Amino acid sequence: MAHAQVGIRPADGLPLPWEAARLRRQRDRLLKEVRDRYKMIGSSEPMQQVYDQIDKAARATSTVLITGESGTGKEMVARAIHLNSSRAGEAFVTVNCAAIPPDLIESELFGHEEGAFTGARKRKKGLLEVADEGTAFLDEIGEMPLKMQAKMLRVLETQKLRRVGGTRDVEIDVRFMAASNRDLKRAIDEGLFREDLYYRLSVMPIHLPPLRERMEDLELFVAAFLDEFNQAMGRSVGRVNPETYRVMRQYDWPGNIRELRNVIERAMLLCEGDEIQPAHLPAELGGADLSYAAAETPGPEEELPSDGLDLKGVVTELERHYIEKAMERTSGNQTEAAKLLSISRDQLRYRLEKYDLD
């Protein structure tokens, strides 16, 4: 059919055959870029197993339940599965069940008809309809209200949903994945999670081990994050002191890979040379953060002077000093300076004005 019309734009606005091929090539290239970007780091035994599971899940259509502590890469795994599946060119829709107020979650997921409730002026598609033909990732599923869990179970079983205020079912074609950093088995015992939904979701369970159980990947992660931030900051920090590694290995990383990434970013901001040293690590890692002490500071007197002191004045002076230093070190980049000082950008701006440092 399309060939009979070569040279004439099809009435329905479809691209011409050669344009379609170009679009396809473009899309394939984009997909490859995204695929490369989401390639996960890690070659440890536990990660090899995770890659195997990603491959299997990408070939299947069953529901995947991804568990693991905060920051272990659950969302990355979900995206990796989607991008390697036959749905790669379609939508990947994340629903953070913990972030949606309980009374809105049904209309967010299922959509609503015109006039379904006060404020529902127009019909609106829900996130699951947006994910049609693609993948829906139900993040923090453990936080979903029980009533909604029952409705979700029906959607998983029938691929049909009913918009809020609707009278008929809408058919969808969605691949579901879910994640939780909460122990769902315990939530079941506590009556907070439906057992039938749990079994329905966990057809293909994938567990991400905490970073402390795959420390053989530590150096890979550090190298990759150094690369990433070197590029982003136009720096060339290339070395990590062996003592720095020792401190990092002893730490238990409750925030896992996300925490490690933040620690490296911060260390690079603190580090003036090309080597990350223990002093560039946050104090909670055990390698005392001495970098500021090294810069001449108006360091507080150890003893309270016999005639007392002006506490507010001393604190103000310290605050002003460190803000000035942080702005110097980051060449006036407020976002980075605020990070260095563990305050928000607004808090930094307020102080810059207060101290007339702008």
Ligand X SMILES: Nc1ncnc2c1ncn2[C@@H]1O[C@H](COP(=O)(O)OP(=O)(O)OP(=O)(O)O)[C@@H](O)[C@H]1O
Kindly state whether residue 40 participates in binding ligand X, applying the rule CB under 6 A. Answer: yes
Q: Which of 5, 49, 70, 335 binds ligand X (CB under 6 A)?
A: 70
Q: Torsion over CA of 136, 202, 102 and 183, rounded to 10 degrees?
A: -130
* Interacting residues with ligand X between 241 and 270 (CB under 6 A): 257-258, 261
Instruction: Answer yes or no: are the C-beta atoms of 271 and 281 closer than 8 Å.
Output: no
CB-nearest residue to ligand X: 73
Name which position in 34, 44, 75, 89 contacts Mg ion (CB under 5 A): 75
With CB under 6 A as the contact rule, the residue among 63, 74, 263, 327 that binds ligand X is 74
By C-beta, is 68 or 111 nearer to ligand X? 68
Reported as type and span, the H/E element at residue 180 is strand 175-180
Residue 262, CB-side half-sphere exposure with 13 Å CA sphere? 13
- Sequence-separated (6 or more) residues with CB below 8 Å from residue 142: 97, 180, 181, 182, 184, 187, 192, 193
- Long-range contacts for 266-269 (Cβ within 8 Å, ≥24 apart)? 266/339, 266/340, 268/226, 268/229, 268/230, 268/233, 268/235, 268/237, 269/329, 269/330, 269/336, 269/339, 269/340
Number of residues that bind ligand X (CB under 6 A): 15
57, 65, 67, 68: which one binds ligand X (CB under 6 A): 68
Q: Which residues in the 110-169 window bind ligand X by CB under 6 A?
A: none
Angle in degrees, CA 96, 100, 105, rounded to 5? 100
70 binds, among Mg ion, ligand X, none (CB under 5 to 8 A by kind): ligand X
- Judged by CB under 6 A, the residue of 58, 76, 172, 178 near ligand X is 76
Residue 210 is a binding residue for ligand X (CB under 6 A): no
Stretch touching Mg ion by CB under 5 A, among 68-76, 192-200, 235-243, 341-349: 68-76
Binding mask 171-200 for ligand X (x = CB under 6 A): ----------x-------------------
Half-sphere exposure in the Cβ direction for 227 (13 Å, CA): 7
Region binding Mg ion by CB under 5 A among candidate stretches 70-78, 124-132, 216-224, 271-279: 70-78
Single residue of 67, 72, 107, 149 touching ligand X by CB under 6 A:
72
Provide the b/e sequence for 180-204 (b: ≥16 CB within 10 Å).
bbeebeebbeeebbbeebbebbbeb
Query: Measured from the CB atom, is 71 or 111 closer to ligand X?
Result: 71
> CA-CA distances (angstroms) from residue 272 to 42, 218, 233, 324?
28, 23, 13, 16
Q: Between residues 210 and 287, which has the closer beta carbon with respect to Mg ion?
A: 210
Does 75 participate in binding ligand X (rule CB under 6 A)? yes
Contacts with Mg ion by CB under 5 A lie at: 75
Q: Which residue ranges make up the site for ligand X (CB under 6 A)?
A: 40-42, 68, 70-76, 181, 257-258, 261
